[in-house]
Chains A and B, each alone.
Chain A
Amino acid sequence: MNLKQQFKEGLLTKNPVLVQLLGMCSTMAITTSLFNGIGMGLSVTIILICSNVLISALRKVIPNQIRIAAYIVIIAGFVTIVDLCLQAFLPDLSESLGVFIPLIVVNCIILGRAEAFASKNGVVASALDGLFQGIGYTVALIIMCVVREFLGSGTFGGGILNGGEGIRILPEGVPAMLMVMPVGGFLTLGCLIAGAQWLVKYLDKKEKAKEAAK
């Protein structure tokens, strides 16, 4: 599989969140500020790359019957490492993501990639797959964060820019608090997935038209 294809699949046509519909819990729960989104996205990407590499390296050693249990233990190990690192070096982030860091263990993206890709492909390909899928996840999270933060608190870059306050775009009182509440998570993700479905179909049609023209 070539690189460009893999990248495109991770980012759009097989985006873990927007097209494969995996890892919904964290996508909706923590996307209230840009800082959270980037932190969560990067944590998942790192864990995804590490677990993909290790699982791919061990794919011939792990007996088939207990492979799921073995994958979960490997993933849980990496999640614990990342969790402890965040607690030590980025306590603010660790605080605001809370229980959703340890819950990465049961994030279906990671187990899904382990089962669908890492268990069948070589180490390098699996690492790249982890990287691209992780980027796809991160991008989806960032879009969610930007939209929800803009509509919900009227700011951009909360947690990082402007001393953690974020840059104010809408004046106070205009934004609808609703969007940073759980409701906003469902609504934003619903619209985003609809948008992604439309885009994938549109690109598909364009490609077919191109082929027909040839």
Chain B
Amino acid sequence: MSAYVQSLLGILISAIISENFILVKFYGICPFMGVSKKTDTALGMGMAVTFVMGIASAACWAVDNLILIPLGLEYMQTVAFILVIAALVQVVEMFLKKFVPALYQALGIYLPLITTNCAVLGVALVNAQNGYDFLQSVVYGVTGGLGFTLAIVLFASVRERTDKSDCPKSFEGFPLALIAAGLLAMAFMGFSGLKIF
């Protein structure tokens, strides 16, 4: 197997499991906490994020390598990326509404929220920092999104149970959810250092 394919597989494994976006790197905690009360809405959010992260990685890579770097404007990365992402989310929303109404119905309410999801901006910035090429960027974006989906769906199914359980009054709701997420993160710690190649 060529070294390049190995590097792609390495990115895939680390983005989904050993460096999970939420539980290890802390990107995208807000939607993780906000939209994880039910498993199916969590799945919807995960799909929407994966979708946008894949496209955003590609678009930000293009903007970075074709516009910012040739012009020597790397310091504008943050501003440029957030604008690209905001515009992209808007375009994706309009496109889905027009051409894939079924998917729009499923993702609809989650799409606008994604602009301020730090996982999306985070993936674009990390791609630029690590100097990934186009394919690596897209793979990192999509698999990072899959990692996000995995974590949020697992967490939602835990939370459906913890919400009904008895606990000290001050811990009700959010604090208990955080503790549960902590235990989940502990499980994911077992994967740290996992390297296949």
Which residues of A come within 8 Å of B, CB atoms?
21-22, 24-26, 28-29, 69, 72-73, 76-77, 79-80, 83-84, 99, 102-103, 105-108, 111, 178, 181-187, 189-191, 193-195, 197-198, 201
Contact = CB atoms under 8 A, between A and B. Distances in A.
B172 to A, nearest CB: 8
B2 interface: no
Interface of B: 23-30, 33, 75-79, 82-83, 86, 115-118, 121-122, 125-126, 129, 168-171, 174-179, 181-183, 185-186, 189
B185 A106 contact: no
Given A182-B23, A186-B182, A99 B126 contact: yes
A141 to B, nearest CB: 14
Nearest to A200: B170
26 contacts: A22-B30, A24-B29, A25-B27, A25-B30, A69-B86, A72-B115, A73-B79, A80-B78, A83-B78, A84-B75, A99-B122, A99-B125, A102-B77, A102-B78, A105-B82, A106-B82, A107-B118, A178-B186, A181-B189, A182-B25, A183-B182, A183-B189, A190-B179, A193-B174, A193-B175, A194-B171
Contacts of B78: 76, 79-80, 83, 102, 105
Nearest to B24: A182
A183 B170 contact: no
Contact of B26 (A28, A108, A187): A28
A182 B185 contact: yes
A167 to B, nearest CB: 27
Given A29-B25, A183-B186, A190-B175, A102 B30 contact: no
Give the 7 A-B residue pairs with the shortest CB-CB distance, closest first: A186-B182, A190-B178, A29-B26, A194-B175, A198-B170, A24-B29, A190-B179
A72 B82 contact: yes
A70 to B, nearest CB: 11
Contacts, number: 114
Task: Please classify the interface of chain B as helix (H, G, I), strand (E, B), loop, or mixed, using the class held by over half of its residues.
Answer: helix
B117 A106 contact: yes
Given A25-B29, A195-B170, A183 B118 contact: no
Contacts of A22: 30
A28 to B, nearest CB: 5
Interface centre among A106, A183, A201 (most CB of B within 10 A): A106
B27 to A, nearest CB: 6
A109 B23 CA distance: 21
B175 A197 contact: yes
A195 B78 CA distance: 36
Contacts of B179: 186-187, 190-191
Contacts of B183: 183
A24 B32 CA distance: 10
Contacts of A69: 86
Contact of A187 (B29, B117, B182): B182
Given A103-B122, A182-B189, A186-B185, A25 B82 contact: no
A186 B22 CA distance: 11
Nearest to B192: A181
Nearest to B176: A190
Contacts of B26: 25-26, 28-29, 182, 185
Contact of A77 (B77, B79, B169): B79
B118 A106 contact: yes
Contact of B170 (A25, A111, A186, A197): A197
Contacts of A102: 77-78, 121, 125
B167 to A, nearest CB: 9
A177 to B, nearest CB: 10
A189 B176 CA distance: 10
B121 A106 contact: yes
B188 to A, nearest CB: 8
Contacts of A191: 175, 179
